[in-house]
A and B are shown apart, each in its own frame.
Chain A
Amino acid sequence: MGSLFTPLSWNDTGFILTGVWNTVIISVVAIGFGTLLGVIVGFIRAESNRLVNTLLGGILDIFRSVPLIIQLILFSTYIGAIGHPLEPFVAGSIVLSLYSMAFMSEVFRSGFESVHKSMQIAARSLGMSYWQTIFYIRLPIGLRAVFPSWLGVALSVIKDSALVSVIGYMELLRTSDQLISRTQQPLEILIGVGIFYFIISYPLSLYGRYVERKMAL
């Protein structure tokens, strides 16, 4: 009589690596779009008047205050219910990108606001246009100032990507979940998964330290 459970074996490597890969991919996509949109939204917030700011701030607050898991489920079921079901990867990427955008926009806004008005006047007095001042002065100085906070958000996005498993995306946590139900070896598997998350995040953290040291003026 064969056992209901089969122990963990080397044959599971491919399955686990798919999970690792999917976690990396959705994190890269979410951090990438989150950063891009975050810079734009952060800039708009730094530059616009009170009314626009209150409105934008309200929308961002929704993204920031509602738990990610609820956002994921609501979005993917709603979009399915209205007849446009999306791949778990696509739905997850959209929600995770917007979620990280909401946090990053605040980071970048404070970066843009940290560049003193007199610095911009000095640039304009050299004949630079408004947009040249943005691209050559305000953007690089502001981004440097908030790089450590940005890195913190990026690292948490990698870990938050685990939640995308609830809508059926086969990322690292979900792979491990399936392996656990098959093997009944949660301890080994969860430790292994933890190590994988560390391996994914640590290079980013190291890179951050390297960049910070390079930028320490």
Chain B
Amino acid sequence: MRSVLRVMPLFVLLLALSVALVPAAAQDMMSYSTDCATEGYTGTFQSVEAVDAMTVKFTLCSPDPAFPAKVAFSAFSIQPSEYLEATGGGGDLITSPIGTGPYKLERWDQGNEMVLTRNEDYWGTPAIEPTVIFRWNAEATARLLELQSGNIDGMDNPAQGDFGVIEADPNLALYLRSGTNVFYLGMNNRIAPFDSLEVRQALAYAIDRERIVANFYPPGSSAATQFMPPSIFGFTGEVKPLDDGMTVDEKLAKAAELLDAAGYPVGDDGTRFSVTINYRDVVRGYLPSPGVVAQDIQAQLAQLGVVVNIEVMESGAFLDASDAGQLAFYMLGWGADYPDATNFLDFHFGEGSSDQFGDKFPEITEPLKQAASLADTAERYQIYIQANEAIRDLVPMIAIAHGGNGAAFQARIAGAYASDIGAEQFALMEDPNDDNLVWMQNAEPIGLYCADETDGETLRACEQINESLLAYEVGTGRPIGRLASDWTASDDLTEWTFTLREGVKFHDGSDLDANDVVLSYVVQWDAANPLHVGRDGNFTYFSGLFGGFMNPPASE
């Protein structure tokens, strides 16, 4: 009896421990699914489930060869499920993110700078520099002055005229990005006069792309012949632009003829119609000097009798308005997030894309949907020819340029590079002089919950803090394991199973498990989820890359 009593405390302790531990171990594994045939559902997700604590399985409605490339994208980074619930899917999630990345947010002094400190518990190779500071200035010349004076260690997008200056300076190093982007003139086919196909075609003839690229773009840029940049799969050289081989005068004559046919003859005042062109006054690799290009387009169209009023907008408001289909005629561009046609074509013209060009054309959406579900590259290529031809003929936008650009660093920074997709990992760079790396980009990040952001300047900041299941290998852009150590696909490419990496901790000290992954995806996927909040609630990348939302809101 005495011995029993002596063991009793130990027994109680064990009981208490198991009571405390068992619920954790047996925590419900999340699983969400939908019926692909649901009316109004255009998405490709069928289910997301946590098979066990460290395994997540995605089931798709149709095969998706680019799935790993999409999963690696920073909009699909993994958030701690508890934090998602605590923040209600917005609010603090946007200003003080918690991730698994090599850096964590120390402070964000809005309008001034963003300071990131090294995550000492990082699962992989820790960052070299203890601190990374993001700063921004819209003026390329001002950024260069800061770099030359040594106030910053690296800068994005030097001005067109400064490439030579940087190359000649022994203290600086220039890193070039190839033009994996496109600058286009968007037209909304729900708003007159762009509801007329002839008008859209006329403008496609009228714009002299060569003139814009030759005069307003840095070396390494090229005039666009189609939406896809030449170096990315989905570019089809067979598809020639409408004005292929025509001289400037022939193009203008053709444009005038089309405008006459569309019912916009030259009026008594010498003009045909007037439109407003919108743009955001920010410098991007695809558009190094927006104001000047806007005025050149204005001057080019003036030759045709089309009066263009220029209206500059604030970056965030501009993107929201164009996504919502409120802008008739605007200058925008796109930089590759991952090297595949789906990133360009599906995002802009696919079924799940935003309303930025107005109504969608089945001639474009059908082949895109088909191509995105094929595993065979040669077959996909043939279908992309169809898609690119349809885009050329229906002219939802006019592709103008693929802008080459670069980044400049102090020559002493070891490991500096410029990522073709604008996703520089600062954890790999070393400044031998001090303990921090100061990076100056074009603009301030808009918010740090990147599931609901599309701006490249914003994504770059998120990428230091949050990580996705996979990542792009530096140099090749191939998907490699990040939070998932391994992944497999079923033969028909509809079932993708990811095994999570052991020992990954979030910045708040909690462990990564399958539920975090499931919830991170579901709050984006399920439009009816109470956590489907974000900054503006558009979740543009998810619907663009995965076709659409579950429980889509009733369309107005």
Do the two chains belong together in a single complex?
Answer: no
**Residues on A close to B: CB < 8 A?**
none
Q: Which residues does B use to contact A, with CB under 8 Å?
A: none
